Amino acid sequence: MTSETGFDPALYARLPVEGPRPEGEEEKLCRAWSAPKGWQHLTEVNNQYIGIYYVGTAFLFFILAGILALLMRVQLAAPLLDVLPQDTYNQVFTMHGTVMMFLFAVPAVEAVAVLLLPQMLGARDLPFPRLSAYAFWAYAIGGLCFFASLFVGLAPDGGWFMYPPLTSKAFSPGINVDFWLLGIGFIEISAIAGAIEIIVGVMRTRAPGMSLDKMPIFAWALLVFAVMIIIAFPAVILSTLLLEAERALNWPIFDVGRGGDPVLWQHLFWFFGHPEVYIIFLPAAGMMSMIIPTVARTELVGYRMIVLAMLATGFLSFGVWAHHMFTTGMPPMTTGFFSAASMAVSVPAGIQVFSWIATYATGKPRFNAPGLFTMGAVIVFVTGGLTGVMVALVPFDWQVHDTYFIVAHLHYVLIGGMVFPLFAAFYYWIPMSSAWPLSERLAKWVFTLMFAGINIAFMPMHFAGLMGMPRRVYTYLPEHGWALPNLISTIGAFMFAAGVLLFVIDLARNFRPRPGGGSAGNVYGAGTLEWLPSDLYGSRSIPVVASREPLWDDPALAQNAERGGYFLPGSVTGYRESLVTSPIRAEPQYLQVLPGRTASPFAAALFTAGFFLALTVQAYTFSIASAILALMALLRWLWETDRHVPLDNVDIGGGIMVPANVTGPMSHGWWATITLLIVIGMIFSMALFGNAFLWSNQPAFWSQPPAILPAFPVLGLNLAAVALSLGARWILRRQRQGWASAALIGATALATGALVLEHSLWRAAGFDPEMSAQAALAYTLQALQMFILVVAVLMSFNIWARVLRGLVTAPTNTSVDVAALFIAYCGAQGFVGSLFPRLLGVS
């Protein structure tokens, strides 16, 4: 067998180790992973707790947004009703869409990932438990504050995609829009934090032997999902920053009167917004592909085809963003590219649907709760997919754009593609975390009401749309003839809600969380690792994986894992630990010591939320105080990170030895840093795209940018910063910790000097950010550079402080690696950010 890291796969034959385990081994493991008590629940970072909190909060937002939907349906049940005033209706539909998309759909799948992924991969936890905790608390606190804006009449009211100029200061002078911009920007940080965790988790913490071809399909789906998040979400972060800059600082980026363009917002928003649909769909499809084989009692048909379909969806979905913009007057050939891509993306989605149908056909499907919901999902999703191909046709889209036909289409896709699979997942995986499974008898009622409800609610909307009913109207006249389809839709919505209510009743009766073991267990007879007997540390020992359904193929595996026969049956260091494996063939590489309970993630999330909230309501003193406290919490977190383990090599089971301290490209910290830099790079790339877009579309307002020659010192300083920063790693290899830290501080100083010089050059050339969109975008590039340089300053001084306290190991150190990479990136971004706007001259 080929090896990826030099590890000899023949060593796996030593496992499971026979015979009794050493006395006290299990007790030591239990001590390291002890359960929290009282207030400690706020500081817990174990995925089994955070995952349950996370799923529960996402479901709460589903209920809240669903109640808003019912309010809308009551208002539209008959013509000229006055249940909701027009302004309130605007807030309600905006919050319904926003909460469903940003606070339910994406967080729900991240939540399921946090809960399931470690167990499914055979890991003790995800590699950055504090990041998961931070992502959760930021989302929960920020989301609840955001939702509460509805109760004081300050909720956003510009629609969930917030198009300017409607949302510009001139037409939306209140702070409602600011709530959306700052709130969503903050919540997206949480989504990105979760995505980084998932990528590194899937790539580096799989059980030994779980090579890519044996990885659970849900893990594949989450990998593609997380990569899509880090590529797509930066666009919405940038666009919210730009619109907030326009509103707060009068930077006219979307103002056509000063060289801006509102269509730029649409490009940036939909570059995020359409992949978002697949970001939601893919993990749900991954859940379907896990559940259906168990329900059908056979192997998944076309595992390989589903993997390639997921990869293809991940790519092709980035070529469809402008199909939301067919009516904006884009050039015909460009429109054609997006139309073609929109049709092409249905091919990989179709591959997955046919694989599911084939799995049902070849197996013996059971019509239990997960089975019903997966079958319902296929029907509803395919219906939505078919109308999706219809609206990919440009002339048809022109006719139905912004009508209820689109509302019907998107709800079929999202409910079939995400909500039904999620309910199937609830029924399927709840026995893993709860003492009792949910009721099969009630489930049939839940499914019937929800399936009938969605079709009765949304099928008539196709007709209402074709009859010309525009979306987002708060009422209509009797003579329009829309009363009957609207009344039927309202009845359907309440049927759907009744199904959800029954589900909540079932949860109240039967869901009894058991993170520490004692769950109902593998009631459906599934074959993947999350069904191993588990405690707070996951499975007692981490098994060697030899197939995709190891529990089906090795009936003794659960027993051997439970008695500690495989990897990490105890805690070598006395702390929480996990095993890091290689990215392709999952060969054991090193022992990772995981952090235990800490207040830092909760405090950082609480005060970051306080900062954004106070900023929105213009309470600047409170905002600054919150920012300082958040910074202190983050620094504390940073300080606790990267502690040297006083062991060189440790026995992880069967006499197999791995190192306990690893740095450089092999370490999980390096991988996370690279992923973070991709996120930052994407934000920056989107800003460059904005420059090019305005240069191309608003030539009448474009001025000659400052010359390149005077910028040579800026370019040179940035290149020097890159070289010096990377040189810090070279210096450290020569055991000079102090000089390495000085190099990092010097590199940051050089990049900062470059930024100051760059700013003065634009100022000297007469560019004022309030005068033109071109100048505003140039200064936006500088603001982005300033932000990352502030982080670089903190990082370099953190290294200095660590050197003083003797925490920086030589010849290599992860903290130095991370800081060097980050500061080198700062230099590179400063170089490109200085050069690019100068290349866009007046043609």
Partner 1 sequence: MKTWLILLCGLVLWAVHFFVAYFIGEFIGETQGPRIAVLGLTLLCLAGVAALGVLLRSMRPEDDHDRWRRSAALGTLAISFVAIFWQGFPALFVP
Give the footprint of partner 1 on this chain (CB under 8 A).
1-2, 211-213, 304-305, 307-309, 311-312, 314-316, 318-319, 331-337, 339-341, 343-344, 347-348, 584-585, 692-693, 696
Q: What phi-psi label fits residue 155: left (phi over 0), alpha (psi between -120 and 50 degrees) or beta?
A: beta
Min. distance of Cβ 322 from partner 1 in angstroms? 8
Q: What six digits make up the tokens of 27? A: 């007790």
CB-based burial of residue 734 (10 Å sphere; 0-12 exposed, 13-18 middle, 19+ buried)? exposed
Q: What angle (nearest 5°) sits at the alpha carbon of residue 637, between those of residues 631 and 639?
A: 100
What is the smallest separation between the CB atom of 488 and partner 1, expressed in angstroms?
38
User: Distance between CA atoms of 141 and 35, rounded to whole angstroms?
Assistant: 23
**Residue 745 CA neighbour count, 13 Å, CB half:** 12
Beta-strand relationship, 534-535 and 538-539: antiparallel
Q: Which is nearer to partner 1, 80 or 333 (CB)?
A: 333
d(CA 712, CA 59): 54
In terms of CB distance, is 337 or 552 closer to partner 1?
337
- Whats the size of the chain, residue-wise? 843
How buried is 441 (Cβ within 10 angstroms: 0-12 exposed, 13-18 middle, 19+ buried)?
exposed
Q: Tell the smallest beta-carbon distance from residue 331 to partner 1 (Å).
A: 5
Structure token pair of residue 210: 């779980």
Toward partner 1, which CB reaches closer, 129 or 385?
385
Write down the least CB distance from residue 1 to partner 1, Å. 6
| DSSP E strands, 385-448 | none
CA distances from 349 to 346, 376, 379 (A): 5, 16, 13
Please, what is the minimum distance in Å from the beta carbon of residue 65 to partner 1? 34
Contacts by 8-15, CB closer than 8 A, 24 or more apart: 9/209, 9/587, 11/654, 11/656, 12/208, 12/209, 12/544, 14/654, 14/655, 14/656, 15/543, 15/544, 15/565, 15/566, 15/567, 15/653, 15/654
Q: Report, in Å, the least distance between residue 328 CB and partner 1.
A: 12
Q: Which is nearer to partner 1, 305 or 572 (CB)?
A: 305
Residue 639 or 693: which CB sits closer to partner 1? 693
Nearer Cβ to partner 1, position 73 or 206? 206
Instruction: Output the smallest distance, CB 308 to partner 1, in A.
Output: 4
- CA neighbours closer than 13 Å in the CB half-sphere of residue 392: 21
Residue 511 Cβ vs partner 1, minimum distance, rounded to whole Å = 38
By C-beta, is 307 or 593 nearer to partner 1?
307
Least separation in angstroms between residue 585's CB and partner 1 is: 7
Residue nearer to partner 1 on the CB measure, 268 or 316:
316
CB of residue 312 to partner 1, shortest distance in Å: 5
The C-alpha atoms of residue 326 and residue 332 are separated, in whole angstroms, by 9
Q: Which is nearer to partner 1, 163 or 689 (CB)?
A: 689
Give the nearest distance from C-beta 5 to partner 1 in angstroms. 13
Task: Provide the token pair at 256.
Answer: 């056509």
- Indicate the residue among 203 and 410 with the shorter CB distance to partner 1: 203
In whole angstroms, the minimum distance from the beta carbon of 695 to partner 1 comes to 8
Distance CA 607, CA 599 (A): 12
Kindly state the smallest distance separating residue 391's Cβ from partner 1, in Å: 17
Cβ-contact 746, 794 below 8 angstroms: no
Is the CB of 325 or the CB of 593 nearer to partner 1? 325
Start-to-end CA span in the chain (Å): 60
Question: Contact at 8 Å (CB) between 579 and 205?
Answer: yes
Query: How many Å apart are CA 573 and CA 462, to the nearest integer?
Result: 62
Separation of alpha carbons 111 and 109, rounded Å: 5
Shortest Cβ 205–partner 1 spacing (Å) = 18
Give helix then strand counts, H and E, for the chain.
Answer: 26, 6
Tokens representing 733?
């290899």
| H or E element at residue 591 | strand 588-594
Minimum separation from the CB atom of position 235 to partner 1 (A): 14
Q: Which residue, 38 or 331, has its beta carbon nearer to partner 1?
A: 331
Q: Which is nearer to partner 1, 1 or 709 (CB)?
A: 1
Q: What is the secondary structure of 741-791 as a DSSP string?
A: HHHHHHHHHHHHHHHHHHHHHHHHTT--TTT-HHHHHHHHHHHHHHHHHHH
Q: Hey, is 579 helix, strand or coil?
A: strand
What is the SS3 string spanning 370-390? HHHHHHHHHHHHHHHHHHHHH
Nearer to partner 1, 131 or 325 (CB): 325
Q: Cβ of residue 309: shortest distance to partner 1, in angstroms? A: 8
Of 42 and 312, the one with the shorter C-beta distance to partner 1 is: 312
Closer to partner 1 by CB, 122 or 431: give it.
122
Which tokens sit at 592?
């990772």
Q: Could you give the 3-state DSSP secondary structure of residue 437? A: coil
- How many Cβ atoms are within 10 Å of 395's Cβ, its own excluded? 8
Cis peptide before 713 (omega within 30 of 0): no
